[in-house]
Amino acid sequence: MTVTRLSAEQRRALTLLSSSRHGVNERLLARSLGFSRAVLSSLVRRRFAAREREILMAGAKPVEVVRIRITAAGRRAIEG
């Protein structure tokens, strides 16, 4: 069995993501919750999380939003 090593910040980010069904806005994670872009990118690179881009309408103006959601591998990483 392979042991997955996560930093305290990576584990905190995955735990937060696991509580959100549809993912969390990337800017919210970085600016309001204090996660560094390096931590978020490392989770995506290791496939513990995935980035999903979507276009939302703010009135008549389209706005791009990036959500980060936990993957099955990320769930396994925080369980074990």
Task: List pLDDT tens digits, range 3-30.
Answer: 578 999 999 999 999 999 899 999 999 9
25 pairs with which residues across the strands? 67
Question: Distance between CA 23 and CA 19 in Å, rounded?
Answer: 9
Q: Which residue has the tokens 């696991």?
A: 18
Between 1 and 70, the higher pLDDT residue: 70
Give me the residue spans of the domains in the chain.
Answer: 8-79
pLDDT at 4: 74
Residue 9: CB atoms within 10 Å: 16
- pLDDT single digits (tens) 53-67: 999 999 999 999 999
In CATH, the number for domain 8-79 is 1.10.10.10
pLDDT at 2: 60
Question: Distance between CA 77 and CA 73 in Å, rounded?
Answer: 6
20 pairs with which residues across the strands? none
Predicted structure pTM score:
0.86
